[in-house]
Structure 1
Amino acid sequence: MLLHGSCAASEGPSGLGGVLVLGPPGSGKSDLVLRLMQHGWRLVADDQVELEPGGMARAPAPLAGLLEVRGVGIFQGLPHGPAPLCLAVELAPQAAVPRLPSPRRYTPPEGAPPGFSLPLLALHPFEASAPAKIELALAAATAGLSQRAGAFAA
């Protein structure tokens, strides 16, 4: 099934983990993925993400290795590859991001693997700390880091 979004992956203590970045066109999905790549993350897909059974994400063949960088152009031949999805990030205006969020889940539209859902976090994509927040959230989502309060608190 195809999802409108972008995806990047990082190697962590629990192995490779993918983050699905969701938001309307022009909301900063590609920009955020570009900044994650500057932090050592790998591109999985930009603009459209193919969700496979078992929760594996990859780029549709025509978009594999492509990344749109607004104001610069579309780059091709970038290193990319599939990754298991572990977290979804919904892009939101800064005022809409709660200071201490409650745990939430993202369930893809019809056609997703039965019972598949991901921890969901709302972030403002253009904050300088957005990549660091995603790294911490991925560590929390994959049980590598604990929280006292917030989106991943038990």
Structure 2
Amino acid sequence: MTMQPIHATAVARHTPAGWRGALIQGPSGVGKSDLALRLIGQGWRLIADDWTHLWASSGALYAAAPTAITGKIEVRGLGIVAAPLWPMTRIVLAVACTHEPVERLPEAAAWTWDGVMIPQLRLDPRPASAGQVVATALAAL
């Protein structure tokens, strides 16, 4: 098992299958941390903000925070603050954040890391409903 850091934020929630997470990706300033903060407000837990250790094991993806940033999230306009943490989770959804228009009824998409493919949701993180869209997508898996 080799953990590699990836520029992404990871959050998780408890599901009937146990803790499952979403990997929130996109360029700097797109709103990854803001989306994570809204999900945390809905009861999700932070895995890692901005940089996430990601690895594949037994056909699944897992994420954890680098030690230096464990339990911390950037809140734009406020700074770095503590957040409710979950130390590690299985990642089952990739969220590709964009400010470009998103199709209303898109074709299914996937994202692959180290040979493991997971569903990918393309999303503009700015609307108030973005957190609920992520929660709905994760619940459907």
What's the counterpart of residue 34 of structure 1? Answer: 37
Q: Normalising by structure 2, what TM-score?
A: 0.90
Greater CA deviation, 70-79 or 80-89?
70-79
1:77–1:123: structure 2 CA closer, same or farther, 3 Å change rule? closer
Residue segments in structure 2 that go unaligned for 5+ positions in a row? none
- Please show how residues 4-153 of structure 1 align to structure 2 within 5 Å: 4-54=7-57, 55-76=61-82, 78-95=84-101, 97-108=102-113, 112=114, 115-141=115-141
Aligned to 2:116, the other structure's residue is in SS state coil
Aligned sequence identity (%): 41
Residue segments in structure 1 that go unaligned for 5+ positions in a row? 142-154
Q: Which has the larger radius of gyration?
A: 1
- The one-letter amino acid paired with 1:104 is A
Aligned to 1:127, the other structure's residue is in SS state coil
Shift of 1:126: 1.1
Whether the aligned pair in 2 keeps the contact of 1:64 and 1:80 (CA below 8 Å) is no
Structure with the larger strand share? 2
- The one-letter amino acid paired with 1:65 is G
Distance 1:139 1:80 in 2: 18
Distance 1:76 1:93 in 2: 27
What is the alpha-carbon root mean square deviation over aligned residues? Answer: 1.3
Aligned residues: 135
Q: Hey, which bits of structure 1, 4+ residues long, moved more than 4 A?
A: none
Aligned to 1:117, the other structure's residue is in SS state strand
Shift of 1:53: 2.9
Distance 2:81 2:98 in 1: 26
